[in-house]
């Protein structure tokens, strides 16, 4: 089942087949999708897997503004250089710049012309109410701003204190900022918000500033804010802001290597061309609306993880030590509880050249921190969410034949992570009871038990593949602990105390969440977490319920029982019965019908989800994008298959959402997908059995044909 050939060419050269006639796929990307409501996306420019993401900030705190932006907001505070895509907590927002002509109030927020606001991959522009046109672009590590003022008299706010905050009123712990000359400001900041981190920067200006005035610091401020005055002969000011996790020297080196000249147009052109290299890896035949949703999803998928190594390969690790990254790659913004499900499996198919770097990053992080990353920002772990889901990502890469990392070393870090107690994981307690007792763990007891099962299963399979049978059996046993929480009377995974007593009272429709309503489940309820073990042991779940008919009935109930007062802050968003597409624990469940007595129901639900919860508007994403996971789900759904078990090497078939699609694979191969009226699913003329298709088979390319209405 796991006998994969090492795909050396796939991970080394990645010579993708490309269509004969170049197509500008960036024309279909709308960066404003998901910027209004709970999508928490942002419209500013970025590069694929790049370090910087300059863009507008409307507000610097609050759950609605985790990316700093909401489309309907009428005020722009300024333009900061970093942010995350579609997260549930704020971070970054480093170094805010705001151009102005005159300001007597020290309130630098300005209204703006909504009609003037435009965005495309690698470019953003808006005209503020002070008649200043702002244009943004970037390279991987350097933000590039261009301001066109209404007159030669120009001012610029440089706010180093600014940041996107979460439950804190003071972001910067310390700073050291130097005005080197009238073209350059450099320094560093030590901040503490979601993570405790350091960033270093160098800001350069195309024109010399005539004066630099530091504004008085407010209470608890630890970084400066400057007003710079310029006399601009052509009314245009350009500025480049280079960042580094390592040093000011590193930031300057990044700037010199990536953007040595002041050619804004060339930088935009380069960014667009780079994005087209990624977007062109899949071509779909669809309506304009579908293309906009699809390619915007593919765009968001490739925003992160972010390579935070400098151009010389140096990075600051989890233990604050500076090291050299293998192949110059060290990735952060790893939202693993979300992305292990679909985003990372999708990277192995369409962005394989990044996968080894992801795994080497996880190994390096574990060596520095003592356990594998859980959720990292700027190389530091915020320990948000549960489970240790770097593990399925690493195992998936190993089983698919990626060889650019040390497999023994990877397994060693997995074992260390799952045997030595650390934050969110108490192995002593789990091993003692075979589950987390609710009287020993005051939060997430059921969800943590179930999430650990996913990771334990992954380690077991990898150990099995490597011939380590004793180790494999130990982890297979732990992966079956979910059965200890199955209550046959309610047919749910239910909290249990250390004496074996069930949680009382028990309402399977009541959602809980660590921050908003603590309980046994993580941003979900019992119905939604019931299906977690089905990611890796669907046959065990069928037996647990008493056979396929009962399994089907459980699915039918799940998709039909009405939600009670759904609360988006508890993961209850984009609902179909108890199915909550707005949060990740539900993402695989529609595909489970492939194992039931109603396999056709899967395609019906997938089509309903795509048509109901995705759109090409600012509110076109219901639920945080969560660093590309929501986008990855849509991409897989559009193509017609999904990785229910992320490490199995198999995808479960659904129903394509377009007439035809072509996936351009490494080594000149391509996979053509057609949605026709034939009686069965065929790959190169051979019928696909059991509603599953292997990753290995897809990589061979050829023609995959779906019936338009498959039974």
Distance CA(407)–CA(360), nearest Å, equals: 10
Q: Give the CA dihedral 260, 261, 265, 268, nearest 10 degrees.
A: 0
DSSP 13: T
Q: Identical fold at 39-279 and 426-624?
A: no
Residue 618: closest CA among 117, 271, 169: 117
Contact between 138 and 122 (Cβ < 8 Å): yes
Dist. CA 685–CA 140, nearest whole Å: 44
Residue 158 has a pLDDT of 98
Tokens of 253: 């080196």
Q: What is the mean pLDDT of the chain?
A: 95
Q: Is the pLDDT of residue 12 over 90?
A: no
Structure confidence by residue, pLDDT tens digits, 198-255: 999 999 999 999 999 999 999 999 999 999 999 999 999 999 999 999 999 999 999 9
Please report how the helices 407-417 and 355-369 are oriented relative to each other, as an axis angle in degrees rounded to 10. Answer: 50
pLDDT in tens, 609-663: 999 999 999 999 999 999 999 999 999 999 999 999 999 999 999 999 999 999 9
DSSP for 374-391, written as a single string:
SEEETTEE---SSS-THH
Residue with tokens 């074992």: 415
Closest CA to 171 of 159, 181, 183: 159
In Å, how far are 129, 449, 514, 570, 635 from 580, measured between CA atoms? 41, 21, 18, 10, 18
User: Mean pLDDT over residues 505-510, rounded?
Assistant: 97
Quick one: pLDDT at residue 579? 98
| CB burial string 1-11: b at 16+ within 10 A, e below | ebebeebeebb
The stretch 450-477 carries a mean pLDDT of 98
Tokens of 29: 């990307």
Residue 22's pLDDT band, with cuts at 50, 70 and 90, is confident
Please check the confidence at residue 535 and state whether its pLDDT lies above 70: yes
The model's pLDDT over 390-444, given as tens digits with 9 standing for 90+, comes to 999 999 999 999 999 999 999 999 999 999 999 999 999 999 999 999 999 989 9
Separation between Cα atoms, residue 30 and residue 512, nearest integer Å: 34
Residue pLDDT, tens place only, 649-675: 999 999 999 999 999 998 889 999 999
How far is 355 from 142, CA to CA, in rounded Å?
24
Expressed in percent and rounded to 5, the helix, strand and coil fractions of the chain are 30, 25, 45
pLDDT in tens, 155-166: 999 999 999 998
Band of residue 708 on the pLDDT scale cut at 50, 70, 90: confident
Q: Where does the pLDDT of residue 3 fall: very low under 50, low under 70, confident under 90, or very high at 90 and above?
A: very low
Q: What is the residue-wise DSSP string for 543-570?
A: HHHTSHHHHHHHHHHHTTSPPSS--GGG
* pLDDT tens string 282-327: 999 999 999 999 999 999 999 999 999 999 999 999 999 999 999 9
Are 626 and 637 in contact by the 8 Å Cβ rule? The answer is: no
User: What is the reported pLDDT for 577?
Assistant: 98
Query: What residues contact 48, with CB distance under 8 A and at least 6 apart?
Result: 274, 275, 278, 302, 303
Q: How many other C-beta atoms are found inside a 10 Å radius of the C-beta of residue 219?
A: 6
Q: Which two tokens stand for residue 228?
A: 């710079």
Other CB atoms closer than 10 Å to residue 15's CB: what's the count?
Answer: 12
Residues 6+ away with beta carbon under 8 Å from 107: none
Tokens 């979300």 sit on residue: 338
Rounded Cα distance, 511 and 523, in Å: 7
For CA atoms 377, 383, 387, 391, the dihedral sign is positive
**Burial level of 579, CB count in 10 A (0-12/13-18/19+)?**
buried
Architecture of the domain spanning 426-624: Up-down Bundle (1.20)
- At 679, is the pLDDT very low, low, confident or very high (cuts 50, 70, 90)? confident
Q: What is the DSSP letter of 89?
A: S
Query: What 3-state class would DSSP assign to 2?
Result: coil
Minimum mean pLDDT range among 90-94, 151-155, 322-326, 673-677: 673-677
pLDDT digits (tens, 9 = 90+) for 331-364: 999 999 999 999 999 999 999 999 999 999 999 9
- For domain 39-279, the CATH architecture is Distorted Sandwich (2.70)
Over residues 43-82, the pLDDT tens digits come to 999 999 999 999 999 999 999 999 999 999 999 999 999 9
Q: Could you state, in order of their start, the residue ranges of all structural domains in the chain?
A: 39-279, 426-624
**Is 568's pLDDT higher than 90?**
yes
The H-or-E segment that residue 274 falls in is helix 264-279
The three-point CA angle 338-386-568 to 5° equals: 60
């Amino acid at each position: 089942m796991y006998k994969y050939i090492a795909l050396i060419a796939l991970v080394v050269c990645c010579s993708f087949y490309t269509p004969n006639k170049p197509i500008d796929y960036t024309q279909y990307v709308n960066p404003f999708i998901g910027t209004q409501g709970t999508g928490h996306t942002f419209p500013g420019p970025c590069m694929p897997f790049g370090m910087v993401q300059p863009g507008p900030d409307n507000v610097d705190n609050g759950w609605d503004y985790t990316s700093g932006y909401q489309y309907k907001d009428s005020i722009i505070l300024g333009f900061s250089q970093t942010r995350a895509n579609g997260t549930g907590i704020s971070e970054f927002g480093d170094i805010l710049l705001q151009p102005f002509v005159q300001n007597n109030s020290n309130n630098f927020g300005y209204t703006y012309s909504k009609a003037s606001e435009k965005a495309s991959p690698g470019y953003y522009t808006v005209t503020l109410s002070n008649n200043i046109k702002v244009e943004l672009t970037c390279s991987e590590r350097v933000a590039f701003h261009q301001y066109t003022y209404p007159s030669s008299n120009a001012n610029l706010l440089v706010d180093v204190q600014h940041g996107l905050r979460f439950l804190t009123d003071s972001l910067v712990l310390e700073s050291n900022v130097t005005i080197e000359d009238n073209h350059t400001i450099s320094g560093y900041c030590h901040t503490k918000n979601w993570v405790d981190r350091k960033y270093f920067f160098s800001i350069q200006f195309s024109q010399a500033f005539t004066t630099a005035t530091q504004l008085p610091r407010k209470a608890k401020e630890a970084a400066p804010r400057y007003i710079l005055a310029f006399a601009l002969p052509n009314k245009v000011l350009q500025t480049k802001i280079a960042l580094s996790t390592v040093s000011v020297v590193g930031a300057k080196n990044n700037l010199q290597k990536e953007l040595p000249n002041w050619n804004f147009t060339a930088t935009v052109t380069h960014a667009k061309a780079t994005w087209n290299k990624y977007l062109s890896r899949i071509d779909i035949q669809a309506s304009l609306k579908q293309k906009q949703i699809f390619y915007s999803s593919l765009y968001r998928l490739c925003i992160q993880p972010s390579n935070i190594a400098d151009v010389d390969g140096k990075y600051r690790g989890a233990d604050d030590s500076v090291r050299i990254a293998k192949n110059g790659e060290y990735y952060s913004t790893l939202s693993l509880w979300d992305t292990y499900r679909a985003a990372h499996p999708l990277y192995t198919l369409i962005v394989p050249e990044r996968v080894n770097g992801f795994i080497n990053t996880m190994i390096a992080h574990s060596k520095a921190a003592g356990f594998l990353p859980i959720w990292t920002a700027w190389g530091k772990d915020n320990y948000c969410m549960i489970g240790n889901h770097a593990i399925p990502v690493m195992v998936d890469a190993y089983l698919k034949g990626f060889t650019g990392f040390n497999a023994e070393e990877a397994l060693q870090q997995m074992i260390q992570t799952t045997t030595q107690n650390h934050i969110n994981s108490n192995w002593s307690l789990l091993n003692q009871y075979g589950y987390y007792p609710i009287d020993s763990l005051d939060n997430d007891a059921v969800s943590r038990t179930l999430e650990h099962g996913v990771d334990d299963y992954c380690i077991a399979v990898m150990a099995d593949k490597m011939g380590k049978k004793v180790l494999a059996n130990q982890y297979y046993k732990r992966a079956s602990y979910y059965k200890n929480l199955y209550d046959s009377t309610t047919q749910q995974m239910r909290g249990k105390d250390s004496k074996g007593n069930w949680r009382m009272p028990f309402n399977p429709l009541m959602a809980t969440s660590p921050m908003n309503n603590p309980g046994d489940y993580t941003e979900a309820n019992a119905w939604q977490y019931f299906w977690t073990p089905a990611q890796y042991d669907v046959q065990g779940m069928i037996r647990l319920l008493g056979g396929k008919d009962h399994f089907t009935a459980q699915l039918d109930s799940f998709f039909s029982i009405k939600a009670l007062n759904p609360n988006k802050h508890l993961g209850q968003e984009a609902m179909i019965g108890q199915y909550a597409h707005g949060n990740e624990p539900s993402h695989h469940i529609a595909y489970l019908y492939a194992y039931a007595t109603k396999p056709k129901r899967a395609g019906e639900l997938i089509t309903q989800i795509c048509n109901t919860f995705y759109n090409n508007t600012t509110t076109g994403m219901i639920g945080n994008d969560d660093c590309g996971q929501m986008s990855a789900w849509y991409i897989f759904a559009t193509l017609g298959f999904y990785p229910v078990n992320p490490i199995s090497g198999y995808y479960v078939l659904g129903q394509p959402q377009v007439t035809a699609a072509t996936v351009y694979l490494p080594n000149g191969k391509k996979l053509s997908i057609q949605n026709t009226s034939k009686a069965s699913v065929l790959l190169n003329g051979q019928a696909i059995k059991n509603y599953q298709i292997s990753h290995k088979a897809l990589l061979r390319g050829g023609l995959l044909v779906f019936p338009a209405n498959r039974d």
